[in-house]
Structure 1
Amino acid sequence: MSLAEQVLAVNNDLPIRTDAPVHSGKVRSVYWLTEADSARLIKEKGYDVAADAPLAIMVISDRISAFDCIWHGEGGMAGVPGKGAALNAISNHWFKLFKENGLADSHILDIPHPFVWIVQKAKPVMIEAICRQYITGSMWRAYSKGERDFCGIQLPEGLEKDQKLPELLITPSTKGILEGIPGVPAVDDVNITRTNIDDNYQAFNFQSPTDVDRYEVLLKEGFDLISAALAELDQIFIDTKFEFGYVTDAAGNDKLIYMDEVGTPDSSRIWDGPAHRDGKIIEQSKEGFRQLLLSHFPDPDILLNKDRMPEREALARDNALPTEVLLAVSKTYTDIAAKITGAPVPLSANPKAEIIEILSRDYGLID
């Protein structure tokens, strides 16, 4: 089997029994199970959720997204070998650590295969929270142009690119388009302040003002836990994105949980410690791929300017990246996953066939 055939690029065509449309995002596809299958699995597997909780099968892919576009390589390689399994392995590791350390649960109930999660439906908090320990990326670009107010936080003068910040900063933005919140434009991914959240907590799907405080504690504790664990591996946790939601457990208690993914090369920046001490930055995350794209194309403004999205989409569609580029990205993902989890990333010759067999044999979900 060729390398291109080992890449799981299309993940929304599995014969998983569902009576709802498959939701396919940039990287994952979600199959909502029927009421009967959800109830059966909750009972059979003893999941700690309400008896009538909707469950879903979430299948990750090897697709790679950057600058809101999906990129592909030469020879029909429509993704990055090992990327999906690496992302899931890293998230699984951190979610488990969060739970063991008494932080909060996640939406994951079961892990049938390296590409697959069984998840419970959560009511999402409509915030993407970025925790930043260093000034880099979009924050540095804005700072270098004179901006000093970030999500209601005033940054001091005289900061330099890639410098460690005086303290961990939380810079939240909206998840989706939220209407009718004073001072918050109704557009996706717009920066907001802690005051915006406090004054309109219900609009962001928080159940109480104390849950806003809890969310901030979970952000800092989650960041600090990952940062400390990476430091033991001589890696530096630069920034990351967290998402939260509510679920109900078997006893009927509502819980604020971590969801989506955590501490992965897709949602975080991680720098190599030894290189950093030598004055170099080696990205152990997707940021390296972003930087490569910015230098690969003659007009990087296409990738940075949201007003040029049609040109950007054409760039991604019409340009097959060199195979060695995608293999280098693969090495970044699989190496950091092995470092974090202490085990090599399980690579599959035919992930789709494996997923179908396991979901049929052990879960009775294939028609």
Structure 2
Amino acid sequence: MNQAIKETHFNFPEQIGFYKGKVRDVYIFEKDLVVVASDRISAFDVVLPRAIPFKGQVLNQIAAKFLQATADIVPNWVTGVPDPNVTIGKKCEPFKVEMVIRGYLAGHAAREYASGKRSICGVEMPEGLNENDAFPSPIITPTTKASEGHDEDISKEDILAKGIVSKEDYEVLERYTRALFERGQKMADAMGLILVDTKYEFGKFEDQIYLIDEIHTPDSSRYFYADSYEENQKNKVAQKQLSKEFVRQWLISNGFQGKEGQEIPEMTDEIVESISDRYIELFEKITGEKFQKANTTNLESRIENAILSHLSSSK
């Protein structure tokens, strides 16, 4: 099996900090961030025990493509992609909310709806919807950005009342979120896909709002296949998804939803390889490009050398 990168422990000149996220290792400099997309995989806000070969490359390269394709809508944090697993960019101060936007009743929203709720994050959902039906228009359902543990649903009203984001900034975030989603849906449609829902994160650098993190990847988004959507809805058949939902469903079917006392099921080599294959399929379906597997021999050295070279050339 190919090497996978579970974590990194670099120490760069002029580095002033380090942060380990669920998936990314973030090296902090005075005005820049070096972000390594590891091959860790999380679900239900839990990092699973085994890394998935090429997952980090898939996410990093999809995000790079879509950030570049939406730079005319909102400026983003990226200044360079020196390695298939690495993005370097401006050190923005993140807003403490994630802007989740949903075009369809799927995933978390569908689970809430099935439990009888007709409101999510202060937004009303119409009666009579079946799972995966389209909303009359996309809804924004923000979550708090938790440094540890679970992100929590929150309403726009609570965000403003608690002063988490100013009214002026929040209106800009909403406008950007809708414009980005519209662009993402058009790009998905061109690939025979439906962008179902996604999340965006924003931050400020020198008082300007930037789009940060990844966008339109299978970790942050859900896609359906357009050609089978109507037929599946008519027959009440589950939609084939291009997202991380297949990992969640595998965990659920094996008795794990991230709840206290539950044990993560064993991740065999076969399971790990099948997840890797699905991520590569996601890349090719979403981008329309053939996935080129990066050399995984001396993987950490490859990544470290690419970062060092970029840092020295950008001085």
TM-score normalised according to structure 2 size: 0.89
Give the direction of change, closer, same or farther, for the CA distance of 1:205–1:121 in structure 2 (3 Å limit): farther
Report the 3-state secondary structure (helix = DSSP H, G, I; strand = E; otherwise coil) of the residue aligned with 2:139.
Answer: strand
Relative distance call for 1:194 and 1:326 in structure 2 (3 A) is same
What is the alpha-carbon root mean square deviation over aligned residues?
Answer: 2.1
1:82 aligns with 2:54: yes
Q: Kindly indicate whether the alpha-carbon contact (under 8 Å) linking 1:30 and 1:59 is maintained by their aligned counterparts in 2.
A: yes
Question: How far has the Cα of 1:363 moved from its partner?
Answer: 2.6
Task: State the partner residue of 1:327.
Answer: 273
* Corresponding residue SS for 1:191: coil
Aligned to 1:216: 174
- Kindly provide the amino acid, as one letter, of the partner of residue 269 in structure 1: R
Q: Which moved more, 1:214-223 or 1:327-336?
A: 327-336
How far, CA to CA, are the matches of 1:28 and 1:61 in structure 2? 6
Q: Does 1:194 align with 2:164?
A: no
Q: CA 1:357–1:173 in structure 2 vs 1: closer, same or farther (change >3 Å)?
A: closer
Q: Percent identity?
A: 28
Q: Tell me how far apart the structure 2 counterparts of residues 58 and 211 of structure 1 sit (CA, whole Å).
A: 26
1:87-236 correspondence to structure 2 within 5 Å = 87-99=59-71, 102-176=72-146, 189-200=151-162, 203-206=163-166, 209-236=167-194
Q: Conserved in 2, the CA contact under 8 Å of 1:60 and 1:84? A: yes
Moved more, 263-272 or 16-25: 16-25
Runs of 4+ in 1 over 6 A off after TM superposition: none
Cα deviation for residue 229 of structure 1 reads 0.6
Q: How does 1:232-311 map to 2 (within 5 A)?
A: 232-248=190-206, 254-279=207-232, 280-295=238-253, 297=254, 300=255, 302-303=256-257, 305=259, 308=260, 311=261
- 1:61-91: CA deviations, max 9, x gaps? 011111122223xxxxx31111101001111
Deviations 1:262-293 (A, max 9, x none): 11111111122234344252221111111111
What is the distance in 2 between the residues matched to 1:362 and 1:193? 41
What amino acid maps onto 2:152 in structure 1? V
**Residue 158 of structure 1, CA deviation:** 1.2
The one of 4, 10, 16 equivalent to 1:7 is 4
Shift of 1:18: 4.8
Q: What is the match of residue 312 of structure 2?
A: 364
Distance 1:143 1:358 in 2: 47
8 Å CA contact retained: 2:7, 2:25? no
Equivalent-residue separation in structure 2 for 1:226 and 1:333 (angstroms): 19
* Higher helix proportion (structure 1 or 2): 1
Residue 24 of structure 1 aligns with which residue?
Answer: 20
Q: Secondary structure at the match of 2:257?
A: helix
CA-CA distance at 1:114 after TM superposition:
0.9
Which residue of structure 1 lines up, in the alignment, with residue 44 of structure 2? 67
Structure 1 residue 332: deviation in Å? 2.0
- Paired residues of 1:32 and 1:56 also in contact (CA < 8 A): yes
How many angstroms does 1:343 deviate by? 4.0
Contact 1:128-1:243 within 8 A present in 2 as well: yes
Instruction: Measure the CA separation in 1 of the matches of 2:146 and 2:22.
Output: 15
Shift in Å, 1:304 = 5.6
Deviation at 1:14, TM superposition (A): 2.1
Residue 347 of structure 1 aligns with an amino acid whose one-letter code is: A
Distance 1:272 1:21 in 2: 42
CA offsets, 1:170-224, max 9 Å, x none? 01121238xxxxxxxxx96332222233444xx2244xx3322221111011111
Find the counterpart in structure 2 of residue 49 from structure 1.
none
Contact 1:87 1:265 in 2 (8 A): yes
TM-score by length of 1: 0.77
CA contact (8 A) 1:130 1:240 kept: yes
Q: Structure 1's 199 and 70: CA in aligned 2 closer, same or farther, altered over 3 A?
A: closer
Q: How far apart are the structure 1 equivalents of 2:135 and 2:229?
A: 16
2:205 and 2:150 map into 1 onto residues whose CA distance is 24
Structure 2: how far apart are the matches of 1:359 and 1:173? 32
Alpha-carbon distance change, 345 to 132 in structure 1, aligned in 2, over 3 angstroms: farther
Q: Deviations over 1:118-157 (max 9, x none)?
A: 1211111111121111112221122122111212222221
